[in-house]
Structure 1
Amino acid sequence: MPAGTITAIRQQSNDPQRVNLFIDGAFALGISLNTLVRERLAVGVHLDEAGWERLVASEQADQALQKALRQIERRPRSIAEIRRYLQQKGFSEETCAQTIARLRELGLLDDADFASRWVANRRALRPRGVRALRAELRQKGIAPAVIDAALESEDDGLSEGERAEAVARAALPRYAGVADWAAFQRRLGGYLLRRGFAADLIRPLLSRLWQELHPGADGLD
């Protein structure tokens, strides 16, 4: 550990929010202005081994927080997503936990809010079945109870069958020209399955839509 006295603090040329720290005339570490202020560092301050370790930990915590904030700025994230991201960046479990705790304290990480917004956004812009929504949120690391609460709080008043029909009718122009029932069933049915609707809802819906397209058609086996 480069214990010693801080002899210079110089702003980095490529990042005005960071400085280079020199101890006993030699470069020691690049740190953020946040760390500089938080640790009350200045020329003439002496760092012993414990002080150096505290400084390194403080800088790691600041880097983790800044990286996490940039991820959240791009789009809302779940707690598990941020944890995985920080782990991939090589931060320790302790630093990950501290960063998540700080973001939750600031109100920037909230799985309940994330899940509710996810369901509302999907239902408004990319409708899909409950199974798909549950699977997506599980992949985001959201707890089952939180998923249940989000689905309940963002209830659009439609049954799953009504949602499936709305999605099917929106997609129907793409499949209306399919002249063969088996191909129609396979293609539009596959589309609905991929959007998380159950097979027992899809089959009668496809039959009804096919009959509308081809009145009097039979042989729907």
Structure 2
Amino acid sequence: MPKITKITAQKKSGRYNIFIDEQFAFGVTESVLIKYRLAKDLEIDSQLQRDIQKDDDNAKAYQLALNYLSHQLRTEKELTQYLCEHEITPEGIQTSLAKLRELHYIDDQDYADSYVRTVINTADKGPKVVRQKLIQKGVSAAHIDQALSHYSVDDQVVVGLAAAKKLAKKYRHSSFFEQQQKVKQGLMQKGFGGDSLSLIIEALALEADEDSEADALAELGAKKWRRYRLLEPRERRMKMQQALYRKGFNIDAINHFIDEQELSDDTE
């Protein structure tokens, strides 16, 4: 019967080369070496060799999974995809997942809970976007619902208000109407809606400022005037009215701006 004639350490720490009848047969991890008590002169048939190699594949998969999880929390879907990319067998993946679940090294509920806590403390996402992100990570609806139960409306208002202030500042040079619309759209894109969205808008308490509105109209109006300046007066006025009205400016203020521009051009 074939037997092991030599065992040598590989350059990679914790792995060993197994030689059968003076020929390299396979490599194993230290844990597999110990489990099967592999040693020189041990007789080894084909079935035992297959069992050893299967256990070694599982051991490699488990170690690969541990290395992947050492950097940050992962979902089962992420880990499965990672192991697939490294050509780990389905059996090796399932064996690793079972062991990791038992040790609580991987837990989709813990992942979802941690993700929601991070959003509350550091991010600007509303519950709808949080749900979408977790679905993409492969987290089940039940786990997501449980995690989001900790994202209270009060927390949503705090997180959303910080995002709303940034949006309001970003669009401060727009008309008051457009600024309001952009803030609301931005919050909805970030996943806020329903009661929390209304409360965020209420807490933000944007107010129209006549001077800022006039400055915004003058800035945008000047750009549009340069674009339409060479058109016939009637068409130019219509184009200007349409362009500025769409941006939320008052029609009387728009007409006043156009009148001033026409007067200025006539005096040049």
Instruction: Please report the TM-score for the alignment, with normalisation by the length of structure 2.
Output: 0.69
Q: Secondary structure at the match of 1:47?
A: coil
User: Is 1:175 equivalent to 2:179 in the alignment?
Assistant: no
For 1:118 and 1:128, the matched residues in 2 are separated by 11
For 1:175 and 1:35, the matched residues in 2 are separated by 63
For 1:172 and 1:5, the matched residues in 2 are separated by 76
For 2:189 and 2:66, the matched residues in 1 are separated by 33
Equivalence map 1:153-192=2 (5 Å): 154-156=150-152, 158=154, 160-161=156-157, 163-176=159-172, 178-181=173-176, 184=179, 188-189=183-184, 191-192=186-187
- Deviation for aligned residue 1:6: 0.9
Which of 183, 186, 197 is the aligned partner of 2:192? Answer: 197
- Deviation for aligned residue 1:198: 3.5
- Deviation for aligned residue 1:108: 0.3
Matched AA of 2:42: V
Aligned Cα RMSD in Å?
3.1
Q: Secondary structure at the match of 1:74?
A: coil
Structure 1 residues 73 and 213: alpha-carbon distance in aligned structure 2, compared to 1, 3 A threshold = farther
1:5 corresponds to: 3
Contact kept? 1:207, 1:220, Cα under 8 Å: no
Matched AA of 1:79: E
Q: Secondary structure at the match of 1:16?
A: coil
* Greater displacement, 94-103 / 180-189: 180-189
1:182-208, Cα deviation, whole Å (9 max, x unpaired): 764675455434322239976996799
Which one has a bigger Cα radius of gyration? Answer: 2
Q: Secondary structure at the match of 1:19?
A: strand
Larger RCO, structure (CA 8 Å, separation 6 or more): 1
User: Is 1:135 equivalent to 2:135 in the alignment?
Assistant: no
User: Is 1:116 equivalent to 2:108 in the alignment?
Assistant: no
For 1:109 and 1:142, the matched residues in 2 are separated by 12
Instruction: Name the structure with the higher strand share.
Output: 1
Structure 1 residues 190 and 34: alpha-carbon distance in aligned structure 2, compared to 1, 3 A threshold = farther
Instruction: Name the structure with the higher helix share.
Output: 2
Structure 1 residues 189 and 199: alpha-carbon distance in aligned structure 2, compared to 1, 3 A threshold = farther
1:67-103, Cα deviation, whole Å (9 max, x unpaired): 1111110101111211121122222222111110000
1:103-124, Cα deviation, whole Å (9 max, x unpaired): 0111101111111011101111
For 1:72 and 1:220, the matched residues in 2 are separated by 54
Instruction: Please report the TM-score for the alignment, with normalisation by the length of structure 1.
Output: 0.83
User: Sequence identity of aligned pairs in percent?
Assistant: 27
Q: Secondary structure at the match of 1:137?
A: helix
2:240 corresponds to: none
1:152-175, Cα deviation, whole Å (9 max, x unpaired): 1x3355164554323211444333
Contact kept? 1:78, 1:142, Cα under 8 Å: yes
Which runs of 5 or more residues in structure 2 are unaligned? 214-244, 251-268
User: Is 1:145 equivalent to 2:133 in the alignment?
Assistant: no
For 1:220 and 1:101, the matched residues in 2 are separated by 62
Structure 1 residues 181 and 202: alpha-carbon distance in aligned structure 2, compared to 1, 3 A threshold = farther
Equivalence map 1:27-176=2 (5 Å): 27-152=24-149, 154-156=150-152, 158=154, 160-161=156-157, 163-176=159-172
Structure 1 outlier segments of 4+, above 2 Å: 154-157, 159-166, 170-176, 178-194, 197-221
Matched AA of 2:140: A
- Deviation for aligned residue 1:31: 1.7
